[in-house]
């Protein structure tokens, strides 16, 4: 008789431990995914109702671009404000505040009486929604070790894709059935349902009573000290670091492309292929469905490379380069006439953007201690929103010009050339700024406080927030 002893083998023991620890943190990740989905449904409502609302309020392309700019301007202010707030009051309360603000704003769209009041609600929505990613990414840094962080961020970022899919699947039907005001109210109420679950469920791992000791050890496997690290510098000192600028410039150059796809794609299909409100759903769903593949795939690929022995920084940059290359074919859209071939190009570009975003979002968590990650994310988000605020100005002027010439498709083709080249340019700049050794997080003896130092180098002179670890 053969006897197989499998329980005690190291491989099976490791598998058993992996199953045991893979519980609570993924439930937290699902909550972050749901919040991001709601975030993108709420912001998509306007672009989907644009053909209806521009007739009601007599908007031109430039008028619509001003609404986008108001949203982005308040997004800029909100990123800085919420980034600092979340680092100060914590993820649980900070996320609750921004969810409350943007849900009220979403519902408020139903009660506007004109373009000015509509712009006010867009501004409040942008201000509130800006807190989503600083909150979610800080939560990821609190609940996930570095080896899983990109995958977790990918799942969270996939919420942008699912939200973008859910919006065209539901918003046109709600508007046709119940009216545009009810559409804003119904989508806004979903945020308050999430808020109740969040306040009941979320705690940091050390305060989560239901969290097993094994999973807590797994989550904290990257911890370099038993003491909680603290950043010794001021917020402004973050601007003196190359990694901060690499993250900010990358966001500045690529976020506007995603906002363009979100806010103008329904109008593009309407202008070029003459699709009405009831027929926009399928093409938009096809494009936005691809983004979920990019989100999860981009996160998985960089995590896979790290598991194969790649350095984290090299894995991130390799995946970002691949994603940047996949956006390039969009620049040749002028030579594409078939609608579904154009949808395929847009789908590839949108998926690549999400794969890019997953990895660029992980940069702050790879280089900074968790107590200032939301602040760094806020700086990058602010840069992305400034780009997203400036780009629509050019979009509105360009499209109005070509619309008057009765050549609106030519205007879109120019914009797609810009989209196709933005990511490779951004990647080159990030490569230059991050080619130095990554920033190491060290702990000053006797203080337990975190300071920054490049590996193998002495601290930079004249930088009071950088202190050398005590020599023994």
The DSSP code sequence of 258-276 is HHHHHHHHHHHHHHHH---
Give the pLDDT of residue 97.
92
**Phi, psi (deg, nearest 5) at residue 450:** -90, 140
Q: Does the reported pTM lie above 0.85? A: no
Distance CA 398, CA 228 (A): 51
Q: Are 354 and 160 in contact (CB under 8 A)?
A: yes
Provide the phi-psi class of 448: left if phi over 0, else alpha when psi is between -120 and 50, else beta. Answer: left
145 alpha carbon, distance to own chain's centre? 19
Torsional sign, CA 422, 424, 428, 430: positive
Distance CA 180, CA 177 (A): 9
List the one residue out of 155, 163, 164, 167 whose CA is nearest residue 355.
Answer: 155
- SS3 category, 345: helix
Q: How many CA atoms lie within 13 A of 236 on its CB side?
A: 2
Q: Are 166 and 293 in contact (CB under 8 A)?
A: no
Tens digit of pLDDT at every position of the chain (472 positions)? 333 333 444 444 444 444 445 578 888 899 999 999 999 899 888 888 887 888 788 887 788 888 888 888 888 788 777 777 887 888 899 999 999 999 999 999 999 887 888 899 999 999 999 889 888 888 888 888 877 877 888 788 888 878 878 888 888 889 888 988 899 999 999 999 999 999 998 988 888 877 878 888 887 776 644 443 455 566 677 777 888 888 899 999 999 998 888 778 888 888 888 877 667 778 888 888 887 788 788 878 888 888 888 888 788 889 999 999 999 999 998 888 888 998 999 999 989 998 998 888 777 777 777 667 777 877 887 888 788 878 877 888 888 888 888 888 888 889 999 999 999 999 999 888 877 544 444 433 334 444 444 433 333 333 344 343 443 3
177 alpha carbon, distance to own chain's centre? 32
- SS3 category, 439: strand
Distance CA 414, CA 347 (A): 18
Give the pLDDT of residue 154.
79
Q: Tokens 């929505």 — which residue?
A: 125
CB burial readout 353-370, b (16+ within 10 A) else e: bbbbbbbbbbbbbbbbbb
List the one residue out of 289, 288, 269 whose CA is nearest residue 279.
Answer: 269
Structure tokens at 31: 């909550």
The distance in angstroms from the start CA to the end CA of the chain is 61
Distance CA 215, CA 18 (A): 9
Which alpha helices (DSSP H) does 58-145 contain, by range? 61-89, 91-108, 115-129, 132-143
Distance CA 295, CA 108 (A): 31
Burial of 184 (0-12, 13-18, 19+ CB in 10 A): buried
Give the pLDDT of residue 337.
83
Which alpha helices (DSSP H) does 308-338 contain, by range? 312-327
In tens, the pLDDT along 363-407 reads: 777 777 766 777 787 788 788 878 887 887 788 888 888 888 888
- SS3 category, 231: strand
> β-pairing, 450-454 with 439-443?
antiparallel
Q: How many CA atoms lie within 13 A of 35 on its CB side?
A: 34
Distance CA 220, CA 213 (A): 11
Give the pLDDT of residue 3.
37
Q: How many other C-beta atoms lie within 10 A of the C-beta of residue 414?
A: 15
Torsional sign, CA 181, 186, 187, 191: positive
Torsional sign, CA 73, 75, 76, 81: positive
According to DSSP, the residues that pair with 453 across neighbouring strands are 440
Give the pLDDT of residue 18.
47
- SS3 category, 454: strand
Q: Are 357 and 319 in contact (CB under 8 A)?
A: no
Rounded to the nearest 10 degrees, the angle between the axes of helix 339-367 and helix 281-307 is: 40
Give the pLDDT of residue 77.
83
Rounded to the nearest 10 degrees, the angle between the axes of helix 91-108 and helix 61-89 is: 160
Give the pLDDT of residue 236.
73
Q: How many CA atoms lie within 13 A of 154 on its CB side?
A: 26
Distance CA 261, CA 284 (A): 10
Rounded to the nearest 10 degrees, the angle between the axes of helix 132-143 and helix 339-367 is: 60
In tens, the pLDDT along 211-249 reads: 878 888 887 776 644 443 455 566 677 777 888 888 899
Structure tokens at 309: 């022995």
């Amino acid at each position: 008789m053969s006897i197989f002893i499998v329980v005690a083998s190291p491989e099976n023991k490791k598998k058993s431990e992996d199953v045991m620890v893979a519980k609570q943190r993924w439930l937290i990740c699902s909550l972050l995914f749901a919040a991001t989905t709601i975030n993108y449904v709420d912001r998509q409502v306007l672009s989907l109702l644009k053909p209806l609302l521009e007739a009601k309020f007599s908007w031109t392309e430039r008028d619509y671009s001003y609404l986008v700019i108001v949203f982005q301007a308040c997004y800029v202010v909100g990123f800085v404000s919420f980034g600092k707030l979340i680092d100060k009051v914590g993820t649980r309360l900070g996320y609750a505040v921004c969810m409350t603000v943007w849900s009220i704003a979403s519902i408020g769209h139903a009660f506007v009486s004109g373009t000015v009041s509509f712009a006010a609600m867009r501004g409040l929505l942008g201000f509130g929604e800006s807190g989503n990613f600083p909150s979610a990414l800080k939560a990821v840094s609190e609940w996930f070790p570095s080896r899983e962080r990109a995958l977790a961020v990918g799942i969270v970022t996939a919420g942008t894709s699912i939200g973008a899919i859910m919006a065209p699947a539901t918003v046109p039907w709600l508007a046709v059935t119940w009216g545009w005001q009810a559409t804003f109210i119904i989508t806004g109420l979903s945020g308050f349902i999430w808020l109740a679950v969040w306040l009941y469920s979320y705690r940091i791992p050390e305060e989560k009573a239901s969290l097993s000791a094994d999973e807590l050890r797994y989550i904290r496997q990257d911890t370099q000290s038993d003491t909680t690290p603290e950043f010794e510098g001021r917020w402004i000192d973050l601007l003196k670091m190359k990694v901060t600028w690499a993250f900010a410039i990358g966001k500045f150059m690529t976020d506007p492309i995603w906002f363009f796809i979100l806010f103008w794609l329904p109008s593009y299909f309407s202008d070029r292929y003459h699709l009405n409100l009831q027929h926009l759903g399928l093409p938009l769903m096809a494009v936005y469905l691809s983004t979920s593949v990019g989100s999860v795939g981009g996160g998985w690929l960089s995590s896979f490379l790290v598991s194969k022995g790649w350095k984290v920084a090299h894995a991130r940059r390799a995946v970002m380069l691949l994603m940047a290359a996949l956006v390039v074919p969009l620049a040749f859209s002028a030579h594409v006439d078939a609608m579904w071939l154009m949808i395929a190009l847009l789908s590839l570009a949108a998926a690549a953007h999400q794969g890019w975003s997953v990895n660029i979002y992980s940069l702050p968590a790879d280089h900074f201690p968790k107590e200032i990650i939301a602040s760094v994310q806020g700086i990058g988000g602010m840069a992305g929103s400034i780009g997203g605020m400036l780009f629509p100005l050019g979009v509105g002027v360009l499209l109005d010009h070509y619309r008057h010439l009765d050549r609106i498709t030519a205007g879109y083709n120019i914009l797609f050339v810009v989209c196709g080249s933005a990511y490779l340019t951004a990647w080159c700049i990030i490569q230059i700024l991050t080619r130095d050794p990554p920033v190491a997080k060290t702990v000053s003896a006797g203080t337990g406080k975190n300071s920054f130092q490049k590996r193998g180098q002495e601290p930079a002179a004249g930088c009071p927030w950088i202190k050398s670890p005590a020599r023994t």
